[in-house]
Structure 1
Amino acid sequence: MIKDYYTMIPNNLVWALEEGEVALIKDYDKLLVTMVYLDTHVNNIGQCCFTLEDLIIKSGFLARTGKNNSIEQFKSTLLYLQTLGWLDSTLDIADLKPKQFVSCKYEVQFQKEDLTGNSIYYFKLYYDKFKKIMDSDTKLEKLITLKIYCYILARMKRNSSDQKESRDTQYWNDTVIECFYDSYKVICKDLDITDTTFNAHLQLLKELELTFYDNIGLVKDDFGSHIANNVYAETEDWLSQGLKASREYYIGEGYTLVGKKCSKQTTVKKGLKGQITKQTNEGKDTKELESKLEELEEVIDNVKIVKVKRKGIGKQLEYRNSISCQEDNYNDICHQIENGQGYWGEANSFNNPFEIDTYKSSEFDKGVNPVTGSENEWEKYRDKEYEDFIDSLL
């Protein structure tokens, strides 16, 4: 069935894995659609059969000639695939005619795991979801939407088939929350787009029910406050679990969770400033608006800080993984982790931070992910008096 068909794509096509590298798609915006097309045109004997004209039309463009035309752009993309070693090098692309039938080898090379030889660092782009983007009724540039969607897929941590099986049988739960988070600054830099462009396409992906995202609102510590990073997921269920893990992370880092309601004050603050500027330009009295703005800013600056003792689970996990299971204190460390003294794993740019190590058998907790057991934990750290005040301003 079409919904089960997918194209395997290397992560580094849309996301540079190493510092100093660039994503393969950077100078070839039609690379993704070309790869999906070629992958869907490989027959049962491994031959990729197509015409340049059909490739262009099926990718949503007109086969045009002239300076910097679509024909030359797609030829350039095919040449790039040859330099990568994925497309048959004997194919004469320079002299390829739009209606000329082609039958050649096309095979994407993936990095292999040393022990198993399995492909790694890739994501699956399902064809029905690809079509959902390309057939969407939007004025946005669909190639950018597709690029953002694939970037999100590439950044997500995934459960292996063994992890899923262990979770489903409830004998062992060593799964991860399938989502990712990062700052707007990093994401937009990776994608080489503005945050305005990113938000517009992200909203479209949400409307298409391809990507779900949210954040836990404003967080604050001794050094200031900011909106927590968004959590991005493919399903609402994974998003819900990711948000719970996000709360645990910020609590563990010593932040106060001011909450979503307070996030609205940012919009109110911007609106007040805009109205003040507008009315000043019109020669109107702005004293009342300025008074409201000062009152709002004063409250924000004086949010009560709730000290939260960091549980340091990241350090415990690092220490546990660095010692032999024969060490005298190994079982003690595992026992501390198992009994809720913390379960947050430290994040780096290649591992999803929402990783849970439970080490509990079904006879104790039926393999339940511990995040779901702390759904209301963050309520203890809310500043209700502050939120009520914000509500009165809103």
Structure 2
Amino acid sequence: MGRPATIEANLAEARPRVLAAFVRRFRDIDEAEDAFQEAAVRALRRWPDTQIPSDPAAWLIRVGSNAMIDRIRRDRKLAAYRQSEAVLEPATDEEERLADEIDGASMRDDVLRLLFMCCHPYLSVQDQLALALKIVGGFSVEQIAAAFLIKPKTMEQRITRARKKAGNIACRLETPTAFERMRRLDAVCLMIYLMFNEGYSAGTADKPVNAEICEEAIRLARLVLSLFPSQPEVMGLLALCLCQHSRHRARAGSDGELLTLEQQDRTRWDRTAIAEAGVLIEKALLKGRPGPYQIQAAIAAVHCRAASAEATDWREIALLYDALMGRMPTPVVALNRAVAVSKTEGPKEALTLLEPLAGDLAGYLAFHVAHADFLAGLNHTDEARAALQTALTLNPDRAQARHIERRLEELDEK
């Protein structure tokens, strides 16, 4: 017999695979979601009295497909659906049907189709994230609106527009080639990475991290890794998310103020997640193809391994940022490298590295906070104060503003 929490977890885990199969079969997002909802309702009714099937996704696809076929027949639309690539007639031999439904390669491509729809370049990044949270993650409009800090009605309109665009894509999706699968895999990884970052940036003063969105990104990363178990960058992506999320409970103080790594209580870090991330990083790096996600995960792991802030191996971090700059030479990576250099070479050298970034990062809050740190390290108190005041003009959220104001108070005490 299945417990409610276990059933809910199985439904959530199976959702992307099942929904993807329905999108391929019915070529319509709304029809696919209806089919999943019908299957989920029947699972909630049946599984508590029996037991959860060994393959929940297969069970849901079979039940949802049959329910939709019955509805199509009632609506006299079966003839139109006979033209689709899938055979809609339910099989008499259930085992044979399941074997046909859950073909590994087909299932993998189905999930990629669904994720690719959500991160298609026709959609803006914000719409990609919103659609992924709704279609793949199963979040409610209210939950997504809260994450984006906008009204539910506005979010509903945004998702509706994105669904129409994605629906047009769904109608012409074909089985991708091996090359296309890899291209789509890169896009999918980026979408998951952005989703995870959204969880960190969508917090409030009382809850700086939206853990629910972060955990959804981690769940999707696990799903993609299960589909592509030999891809080192997927391992790196999951490891990076695990390392970052392992610290979320210690990220804010009792008053909601953001805490730096130096200030965090490391006993509150999730050591199980950190250990899993470590295994993934080692396995990925053994492939000999280090990429941006792997290197970022390795940097995060150095922080996680340190028993204290003083024990952090900043030289290793600086070397890893050198490697990351070779593969992802962005101003933000250069800024983070400058922070690592400030720990090994001192604030004067770090300031030299910061100067070329001033134009590109003029509107980036973290740049001005780091600039203030380096200036304070050289006892340039007035300039450091000015940098922090500039940061306050860049619309920080309440938690960030509290942190910056606290830094200003510390300068005044000096």
* More helix as a share of residues: 2
* More strand as a share of residues: 1
TM-score (structure 2 length as normaliser): 0.28
Q: Which has the larger radius of gyration?
A: 1
